Structures are given as C-alpha cells and as structure tokens.
C-alpha cells in the first residue's frame, strides 16, 4: 500500500489513460511485494543508529594522551560507516566499535567527533571537546554584578593590570515583556563605561554561576489515539495576516514517510499541486526523519490525536499566497482542547520552485524540524494536564529553541552563521530580539545554554515555558536552570570572544561543542575599545549585550559603569593578569 501510494502520486490524471496505468501499477507492485516481502517493509521503518562515544581524559597538559572509546550499532541491521576525527588534522580512525589512543602534541582546544552513517538517511554524530593546556596558564578570573549592586545610576569596581573584557546587558527581565510586548523591548538603555582615578564606594563582585548538566527524561506521548490509516484526502484550514478568517482547502496524501505524512493542496483540476517530485520527497523525508528522531530523544514524544503515528506536513499554494514561499507555520488551534478533529499539522508553501534541490535538501528539512519543535512545546500543556495553556513557548526563547538543530545537527549551518555575523556586526552587539535575530544570535545563546546545561536542558526549558505561563515571573531560563536571561546573553557573547582559548576553557566561558573562531573565519567578534581618558557609550535594549575591551591596562584601575534606566544592568568582568 505504501509503495503504491507513492507511485500513484506520479500517475497522470487523464481519464482513460489513468485507468490502465493504475492497473499496471497495481499489478507491478503485487509482483514486487511477492518477491521483496519483509525486506521492503523493514526499510520503510528505518531507525537511526545507536551511538556512544567517550574520551578519557578530556583535558590535561600537552602532550595529552587520550583514550577514545566508541561503539555503534543499528536496530535495522544496516551496515554502518564510522569515522573518528581527532580534530587536530591527523588522519581519522575507522571502525564502529573499539578503543583508540591518540596524543595531542600541542596545547589547544580540539573537537573530536565520531560520525556514524547507516547509508539510508540517518547520520549520527557525537562530539567531545579536548583541551590540552601548556604548563604555565594565565591566572585568569571573572566576576559579575547584578542590577542590585548599582548605587543610584553608578557601579564602580577595581581591576589589576592586564587584559580586561567587560560585558554589559540591560537588567530587563522577561516579566516586563509579557506585560507590554509592544514597547518594552524597544526601551533604550544608555551605558557609559570609563576609567576613573578613584571611587568612594566599590561594589562587591559576585562569582560566575556554575553549570549543572541535566539528562533528558523519558517523556512519552501525552495522548495517543488508537491507530487509524491516514485519509487519502482531507480538509485543512489555512490562516495568515492576509486572511480575515481561516481558508478551508482540500489536500491529498502524496507521500508517506518514516515520521511525516506529506499532503498537497488539490489544484483546480482535482489533482495534487505537484509541489515536488517523488525523489525530492524521499530526500526531504530522509533528512527530516533522521533529525526528528533526535527531537524525540531530547524533547519527548508529541501527541497523536489523529492516530496516524506521524506529523502531517501540508504543502499549500493558498498558504504561499497568504504568506510567502519562505514561511512555515504550526497552528496550535489544530490541537485545541475544544476541537473534535485534533491533528498534528505543520504548514508549508507549495510553488514552482526555482531551486527545488535546495528546497528539498536544506530548506524543507530544517524548517520541518523547526515547526515540529513548536509542536512539542505546545503539546506539553496536555502532558501537564493544562491544555488551556496550549501556547507552546515564550518569545524569543521558543524560536531560539526551535533553531537548536541548525547547530546540533549542522542543518543549514553555513547559512545560519552568515546571518549570525550580520546580526552581530549590524550594531556591534549581540541581540536576541530584533531584525529576526531571535532565529540567529538568539539561537546561538540557546546553543550555548544547551552545551553548558546538557541535553536535559531542552525538557527543562519546555517545562519552564509551562511554569512561566502560570507565574509570569522570572523568565524561562531562570525557571529552567536558575540563570537570568540577560546574564545568559552576555555570557554567550563573552564566550564567543574567549572560545578556543585556555582562559575560556578555564572559566567556562566557551563553546565546548563548537569552534567559534572557525565559524567566524578567524575574524574576532565585535567589541568596543576602552582606553584611559576615552569613555565608551553604548545603547542597548532588551536582551541586547555588548563587550568592551581594555587590551593594555598597565596598572591597577577603577572602572565606573553608569546606566540611565531604573532596571540597571548586568556587568560581567573577565581579567587576564599580565
């Protein structure tokens, strides 16, 4: 039935010719099933490989000898291709199970990766950061101040001679945005930073927060209906800013994949809209289903109200007309409690693509995963028994989480980083809230949180979305792991400056599973320069942070920070003594 369905998708719909072509297709697949049998059924339910990867030790003085232990197996019995890349330019090790000893001769930070490919669309990768240090490391230290540490508009502190980094961010918590989402995030804060001769009152530094790794829990589906075959035809309701109400259109099932059912809006002649070829649907499904297995592992299983055990992807020409060909959506109305036709659906445009291969290999898979994450955020309300709190997340944190897999699974990451750099260098700041940057630099903040708090952070954040709707106080990051969102933003920006350095690794201000200098093509992230007698003024808004450098401080100094808003700000200081 499955293969016949895919073949019918590409049958011509002329009346007389269609009938005998259909008969030949059915006869052909009766023969195929009689000879292929179970082997074909098994391939249709391909599962990802199971992978483990460890390093002992993962840090130490160079030359550092590390023992890598790895293993990979496949639930389907597929022949796997495995490779262990040590990250230092040496030849990779082959093999899918065993232990390998490798020596890192030079001091530095390396990313070792173990990649496993089952040859059927599932590519799994595990990475470990290896830090080889030199015998004499700089005795760097860091501290921060919260808004409560300001005296009036001012904050003063002393630093020794050396290289100084100062991170600034407004002390605006998400609480205010929930009360006023039109103006709160537009409020400007004027920071001024200067070196002064002395100060009558110095603030007491606070230690940087520590990070506790969280493990994902086994979250089953919050609701699963008895199994039902998906209908060949069904109606969908499309909504958008150009529509006064939902537009009801009919769709036809054209491809059934491992994790997704693909429907196309029917054209005027009653046929599907022919959004993609069969080959392109196979590419979309293989890439999306492999990534979605990781979504379920980290975020639990979604609901299954319609009983088809899959998520519906509806490709619509009407959706493309109302929105555009670069937009995708998940409507929580499709699973609202009072609906008797609840169904897990994500919506996509259908058009005559200029670059169908790009759409199939890159744009569709990563956006299918993005919208699927929004579905997982929303259905947690059913898991907690509060479907009245169905809305899935808190802006911009819900969008940043939905972009996690761009980084984690390398889904269109080169394109993502081109926009990250645009967001950074637009005003030399890191923003989570403007110009679409919640999808780019906002996602980078989430990626930093994921690396420091572990894979269980995703479920902790989804639970925090639920709690935040009830309490409306603190914000998702604070409720999830105890870290205020503004502080997370500025720590991420400082980590970009210190990544792949001994100081960054020592202080925990780095990206353990990434290489920011490599992503930035060797160009340093933007910063403002501070010099004696030359104050620095910076204007920042909600969840926007800046980094100020004092590169060559020759003696102990007092630094004074002022800000003109009552919410004050967070100030983080990194000192590398000379």
On whether both 56 and 102 belong to a single domain, the answer is yes
Going 361 to 367 to 371 to 372, the CA torsion angle's sign is positive
> How far, CA to CA in Å, does 438 sit from each of 70, 100, 171, 309, 414?
36, 41, 18, 31, 17
Interval 552-578 mean pLDDT: 90
For residue 513, tell me if it sits in a domain. Answer: no
CB 297 within 8 A of CB 458: no
- Compute the distance between CA of residue 249 and CA of residue 496 in angstroms, rounded to an integer: 47
- Listed in sequence order, the residues at least 6 apart from 375 whose beta carbon sits closer than 8 Å to its beta carbon are 302, 311, 330, 344, 346, 392
pLDDT for position 244: 67
Residue 19 in domain: yes
**Omega prior to 338 cis, within 30 of 0:** no
Give the other-Cβ count within 10 Å of 551's Cβ. Answer: 12
Q: Quick check: 149 and 155 in contact, CB under 8 A?
A: yes
Q: Could you report the per-residue pLDDT of 454-481, keeping only the tens digit for each?
A: 999 999 999 999 888 777 788 999 999 9
Q: Domain for residue 108, yes or no?
A: yes
* 71, part of any domain: yes
**Distance of alpha carbon 455 from alpha carbon 406, whole angstroms:** 15
> Does a structural domain hold residue 123?
yes
pLDDT tens for each residue of 211-252:
999 999 999 999 999 999 999 999 999 987 665 678 899 999
The reply to whether 37 and 97 lie within a common domain is no
* Domain limit, last residue, from 133, 150, 173: 133
Same domain flag for 8 and 64: no
Comparing 292-301, 382-391, 406-415, 510-519, the range with the smallest average pLDDT is 382-391
Q: Where are the beta strands (DSSP E) in 91-238?
A: 93-94, 97-104, 108-117, 123-133, 141-145, 154-159, 162-170, 189-196, 206-207, 233-238
What does the pLDDT read at residue 15?
37
Give yes or no for residue 2 having a pLDDT over 80. no
Same domain, 56 and 32: no
**Whether the Cβ atoms of residue 346 and residue 314 lie closer than 8 Å to each other:** yes
Does position 549 have pLDDT exceeding 50, yes or no?
yes
Give pTM, 2 decimals.
0.77
153-158 mean pLDDT: 93
- Residues 61, 124 within the same domain: yes
DSSP letter for 204, please: P
Count of beta carbons in the 10 Å neighbourhood of residue 2: 13
pLDDT level of residue 9 (50, 70, 90 thresholds): very low
359-381: pLDDT as tens digits:
999 999 999 999 999 999 999 99
**69 in the same domain as 18:** no
Q: Is 495 helix (H, G, I), strand (E, B) or coil?
A: helix
Average pLDDT score, the chain:
87
Q: Are residues 75 and 30 in the same domain?
A: no
- Asked if 59 and 128 sit in the same domain, the reply is yes
Show which of 133, 157, 185 is a domain's final residue.
Answer: 133
Q: Tell me which DSSP letter residue 387 carries.
A: G
> How many other C-beta atoms lie within 10 A of the C-beta of residue 237?
16
Identify the CATH number of the domain in which residue 94 sits. 2.60.40.10
DSSP assigned state of 360? I
- CA–CA separation, 349 and 306 (whole Å): 23
Would 540 be classed as within a structural domain?
A: no
CA-based radius of gyration for the chain: 27
What's the mean pLDDT in 340-362?
A: 94
Number of domains forming the structure of the chain = 2
Domain-embedded: residue 457: no
Return d(Cα 120, Cα 112) in angstroms, integer.
Answer: 24
> Last residue of some domain: 28, 44, 60?
44
Q: Which of 414, 337, 326 is nearest to 370 (CA)?
A: 326
Confidence at residue 368, expressed as pLDDT on a 0 to 100 scale:
98
CB atoms within 10 A of CB 249: 16
Q: Both 40 and 56 in a single domain?
A: no
User: Rounded to whole angstroms, how far apart are CA atoms 239 and 234?
Assistant: 17
Torsion sign over Cα 361, 364, 365, 366: positive
Q: Are residues 85 and 14 in the same domain?
A: no
Residue 67 inside a domain? The answer is: yes
Q: What percent of the chain has pLDDT over 90?
A: 66
User: Taking each helix axis from N to C terminus, what angle separates 485-498 and 441-453, rounded to the nearest 10 degrees?
Assistant: 90
Q: Say yes or no to pLDDT of 30 above 70.
A: no
Amino acid 45: pLDDT: 62
Q: Are residue 72 and residue 101 in the same domain, yes or no?
A: yes
The span from the CA of 197 to the CA of 88, in Å, is: 47
Domain that holds residue 75: 50-133
| Residue 133 binned pLDDT confidence (cut-offs 50, 70, 90) | confident
Inform me whether the pLDDT recorded for 85 exceeds 70: yes
């Amino acid at each position: 039935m499955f293969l016949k369905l895919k073949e019918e998708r590409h049958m011509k719909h002329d009346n007389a010719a269609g009938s005998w072509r259909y008969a030949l297709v059915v006869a052909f697949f009766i023969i195929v099933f009689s000879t292929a049998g179970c082997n074909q059924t098994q391939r249709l339910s391909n599962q990802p490989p199971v992978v483990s990867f460890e390093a002992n030790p993962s840090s130490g003085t160079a030359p550092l000898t590390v023992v890598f232990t790895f293993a990979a197996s496949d639930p389907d019995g597929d022949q796997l291709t495995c490779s262990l890349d040590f990250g230092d330019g040496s030849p990779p090790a082959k093999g899918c199970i065993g232990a390998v000893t490798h020596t890192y001769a030079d001091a530095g930070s390396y990313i070792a990766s173990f990649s496993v490919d089952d040859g059927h669309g599932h590519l799994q990768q595990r990475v470990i950061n290896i830090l080889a240090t030199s015998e004499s490391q700089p005795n760097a230290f860091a501290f921060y101040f919260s808004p409560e540490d300001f005296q009036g508009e001012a904050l003063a502190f002393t630093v020794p001679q050396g290289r100084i980094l100062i991170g600034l961010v407004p002390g605006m918590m998400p609480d205010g945005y929930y009360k006023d989402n039109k103006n709160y995030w537009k409020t400007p804060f004027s920071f001024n930073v200067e070196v002064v001769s002395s100060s009558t009152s110095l603030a007491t530094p606070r230690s940087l927060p520590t990070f506790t790794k969280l493990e994902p829990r086994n979250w089953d589906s919050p609701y699963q209906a008895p199994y039902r075959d998906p209908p060949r035809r069904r109606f969908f309701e499309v909504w958008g800013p150009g529509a006064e109400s939902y537009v009801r259109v009919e769709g036809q099932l054209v491809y059934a994949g491992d994790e997704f059912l693909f429907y196309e809006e029917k054209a005027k002649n009653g046929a599907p809209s022919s959004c993609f070829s069969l080959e392109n649907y196979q590419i979309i499904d293989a890439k999306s289903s492999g990534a979605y297995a990781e979504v379920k592992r980290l975020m639990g299983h979604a609901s299954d109200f319609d009983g088809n055990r899959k998520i519906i992807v509806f490709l619509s020409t009407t959706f493309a007309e109302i929105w555009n060909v670069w937009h995708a959506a998940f409507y929580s109305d499709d699973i609202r409690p009072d609906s008797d036709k609840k169904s897990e659906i994500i919506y996509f445009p259908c058009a005559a693509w200029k670059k169908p291969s790009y759409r199939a290999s890159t744009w569709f898979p990563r956006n299918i995963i993005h919208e699927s994450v929004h579905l997982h955020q929303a259905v947690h309300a059913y898991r907690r028994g509060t479907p009245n709190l169905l809305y899935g997340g808190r802006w911009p944190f819900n969008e940043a989480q939905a972009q996690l897999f761009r980084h984690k699974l390398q889904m269109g990451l080169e394109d993502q980083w081109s926009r990250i750099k645009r967001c950074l260098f637009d005003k030399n700041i890191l923003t989570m809230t403007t110009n679409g940057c919640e999808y780019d630099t906002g996602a980078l903040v989430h990626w930093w949180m994921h690396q420091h708090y572990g894979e269980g952070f995703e479920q902790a954040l989804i639970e925090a979305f639920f709690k935040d709707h009830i309490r409306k106080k603190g914000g998702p990051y604070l409720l999830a792991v105890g870290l205020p969102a503004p502080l997370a933003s500025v720590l991420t920006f400082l980590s970009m400056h210190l990544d792949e350095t001994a100081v960054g690794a020592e202080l925990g201000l780095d990206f353990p599973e990434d290489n920011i200098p490599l992503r930035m093509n060797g160009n340093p992230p933007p910063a403002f320069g501070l010099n004696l007698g030359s104050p620095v003024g910076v204007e920042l808004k909600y969840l926007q942070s800046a980094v100020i450098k004092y590169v060559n401080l020759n003696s102990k100094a007092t630094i004074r920070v002022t800000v003109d808003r009552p919410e004050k700000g967070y100030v983080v200081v990194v000192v590398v003594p000379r």
